[in-house]
Amino acid sequence: MNPSDIPIRTNDQKVDVGWWNILRTYLIALAGSVFLGETQFTVTNNQSSAADVTNLLFSGASVRSFLAEVQIYRNTTGGGATEISAKCWLEGTYKTVAGTWEMTVGNVTGDWIDDFGPGGLLFTITNAGQVQYKSHNMTGSAATSKLKFKYTTMGVET
């Protein structure tokens, strides 16, 4: 759909179904090419094996690259209480011949935990396009351990 396909309307025209449906279809297509709404995910403390970040999955059949903005906030209370806050970008590309994903973590702001990364999380991606994480062990009593993300994708060439 091209924006020029949307008919020009004048003030005295009533909005007819055909015009409205063309505009609706265009806006739905546009929404798929810009950032999706924020999604929140609960992080497990001391996650030693790679675990899926729910809803951060990309199909190589339809997506060639993605850019995800990730915000991390983790804190504990009581003895040894700790607070960690970070923001980063995950950038991924799909290699069609190899059938593999490559992902880098960039533009990190905030707390970086050695051997893990932003917010004490180590991000990886499977060849199926599933983003996963491991987390370091925070001392104190668990309180908040969340990450929020939103992303945009670029699809298959046509």
pLDDT in tens, 54-76: 999 999 999 999 999 999 999 99
pLDDT reported for residue 43: 96
For the chain, the maximum distance between any two Cα atoms, rounded to a whole number of angstroms, is 69
Is there a contact between 87 and 71 (Cβ–Cβ < 8 Å)? yes
What integer is the mean pLDDT of 42-49? Answer: 95
Q: Does residue 100 sit in helix, strand or coil?
A: strand
pLDDT in tens, 86-105: 999 999 999 999 999 999 99
Banded pLDDT at 38 (limits 50, 70, 90):
confident
pLDDT in tens, 111-155: 999 999 999 999 999 999 999 999 999 998 888 899 999 999 998
Enumerate the domain spans of the chain.
Answer: 1-31, 39-155
Closest CA to 39 of 155, 146, 153, 154: 146
39-155: CATH topology is Immunoglobulin-like (2.60.40)
Q: Token digits for 71? A: 């915000």
